[in-house]
Homo-oligomer: A and B are copies of this chain.
Amino acid sequence: MHECCTPIRAAVIGASGYSGEELVRLLLHHPHADLVAVTSRSSAGQTVAQVFPRFGSHPEARSLQFVEPDVHALASRADVVFLALPHGVAAEFAVPLHAAGVTVIDLSADFRLRDPAVYQEFYAHPHPAPALLSKAVYGLPELYRDQIRTASLIASPGCYPTSILIPTLPLLRAEIIRPAGIIADSLSGVSGAGRKAEADYLFCECNESVRAYGIPKHRHLSEIEQELSLAAGERVTLQFTPHLIPVNRGILTTLYLAPTRHFSTAAEAAVLGDEIAACYRAAYEHEPFVRRLEGKALPDTKNVVGTNVVEFAWRLDPRTGRLLVVSAEDNIVKGASGQAVQSMNIRFGFPETAGLE
């Protein structure tokens, strides 16, 4: 389909943040999509190249201007609209765009939760568009690829959730690990905080600094627990500790998991290890963006930054009976904009890796 057809028309609303900038980068180079509109209240009137000087040699970036967001204009000009907006605001755009028949890919948290009560618990205000929740598909392609193919509203997952769900879901479904007691300890680059002019994210406040934040009840918990619970077939409560570390890009997550099968000898660990390896192979052998590390290799954010890949490695610890899994991803690519483009590719019948290699 993708070689014969005219490209689809894509727009990005709220394109001046880090996720928006990455969407612009991916769409400017996408073989099957044309970036037809970018909006930003603060940048309206400027070209993409002026707002993002790194795209200054790209002809389209030099001509395409940021505009004020106008739902009617966008609805008539775009086949797909990406929302790179704060939660709460995204829904205001999603509702009319969806009604106008545009495919909406929302990078905010607004449509990730199935239950509006959970949204209210974690986001501290009523859900802005509960009627639309049933239309939304959680845009994790490795889990919901079939649903994404026909979705009209795709709720692209958060950065932390992706790094946690990919290594955990297959093990939960296969009942290799227990649903209780899961711990996710995550380290995120500063771009995860967005391009917000807040003193906490100044260079001198982040450089030569490491800190935990948002504990013990970070907002992303809600969507992670939702998907873990669906995989486990029972309610899962997660311990999740995010930390801020001085890198621009990347999330490293260390997962502490309890295998259902007891092991304390090397022989028992080997048997369980084979089971885990087989489970992961079955789940991810053909996934283009999931990389299972082998041998002594351990994940390193520098090996995934700039790519749509999430990589992970695991170790069984016979001393404690636990399974450790460490995963790494680029929080703005597989954790945000790359994954959203991956969903677009699936939704419009393009090769899933188009524009993401």
A191 interface residue, CB < 8 Å from B? yes
Once the chains are docked, how many angstroms separate the CA of A190 from the CA of B307?
23
A132 interface residue, CB < 8 Å from B? no
Which one of B195, B239, B245, B311 lies within 8 Å of A256 (CB-CB)?
B239
Copies of this chain assembled into the complex:
4
CB distance from A251 to the nearest CB of B (A): 9
Once the chains are docked, how many angstroms separate the CA of A18 from the CA of B249?
20
Residues B54 and A302 in contact, CB atoms below 8 Å apart: yes
A281 interface residue, CB < 8 Å from B? no
Which one of B57, B201, B246 lies within 8 Å of A202 (CB-CB)?
B201
CB distance from A206 to the nearest CB of B (A): 4
Q: Please judge, given known A-B contacts A202-B201, A203-B206, whether A217 and B319 are in contact too, CB under 8 Å.
A: yes
Once the chains are docked, how many angstroms separate the CA of A208 from the CA of B190?
11
Residues B197 and A202 in contact, CB atoms below 8 Å apart: yes
A129 interface residue, CB < 8 Å from B? no
Q: Please judge, given known A-B contacts A288-B57, A291-B56, whether A302 and B202 are in contact too, CB under 8 Å.
A: no
The segment out of A98-106, A146-154, A293-301 that lies at the interface is A293-301
Task: Give the most central of A217, A245, A300: most B CB within 10 Å.
Answer: A300
Once the chains are docked, how many angstroms separate the CA of A210 from the CA of B331?
13
Residues B303 and A208 in contact, CB atoms below 8 Å apart: no
A213 interface residue, CB < 8 Å from B? yes
The residues of B that contact A189 with a CB separation of less than 8 Å are 204
CB distance from A207 to the nearest CB of B (A): 5
A237 interface residue, CB < 8 Å from B? yes
User: How many A residues touch B, CB cutoff 8 Å?
Assistant: 75
CB distance from A89 to the nearest CB of B (A): 19
A53 interface residue, CB < 8 Å from B? yes
Q: Which residue of B lies closest to A245 (CB)?
A: B245
Residues B304 and A54 in contact, CB atoms below 8 Å apart: yes
The residues of B that contact A254 with a CB separation of less than 8 Å are 185, 212, 241, 243
Q: Which residue of B lies closest to A191 (CB)?
A: B204
Q: Which residue of B lies closest to A322 (CB)?
A: B239
A3 interface residue, CB < 8 Å from B? no
CB distance from A301 to the nearest CB of B (A): 5
A320 interface residue, CB < 8 Å from B? yes
CB distance from A309 to the nearest CB of B (A): 5
CB distance from A122 to the nearest CB of B (A): 12
Q: Please judge, given known A-B contacts A212-B254, A239-B256, A254-B243, whether A197 and B197 are in contact too, CB under 8 Å.
A: yes
19 additional A-B residue pairs with CB within 8 Å, beyond A54-B303, A217-B319, A239-B256 = A56-B293, A185-B241, A197-B199, A201-B204, A203-B246, A205-B302, A207-B247, A207-B248, A209-B301, A210-B247, A210-B328, A211-B252, A211-B301, A212-B326, A215-B315, A237-B320, A239-B320, A239-B324, A243-B254
Residues of chain A having any CB pair with chain B under 8 Å: 18, 29, 53-54, 56-57, 181, 183, 185, 187, 189-191, 195-199, 201-213, 215-217, 237-239, 241, 243, 245-250, 252, 254, 256, 288-289, 291, 293, 297-307, 309, 311, 315-317, 319-320, 322, 324, 326, 328, 357
17 contacts between A and B (CB under 8 A): A187-B210, A190-B207, A191-B204, A195-B204, A195-B205, A196-B199, A196-B202, A207-B248, A208-B248, A208-B250, A209-B250, A211-B300, A217-B319, A239-B317, A239-B322, A243-B252, A245-B246
Across the A-B interface, give the 5 residue pairs with the lowest CB-CB distance, nearest first.
A216-B317, A209-B302, A203-B206, A54-B303, A211-B300
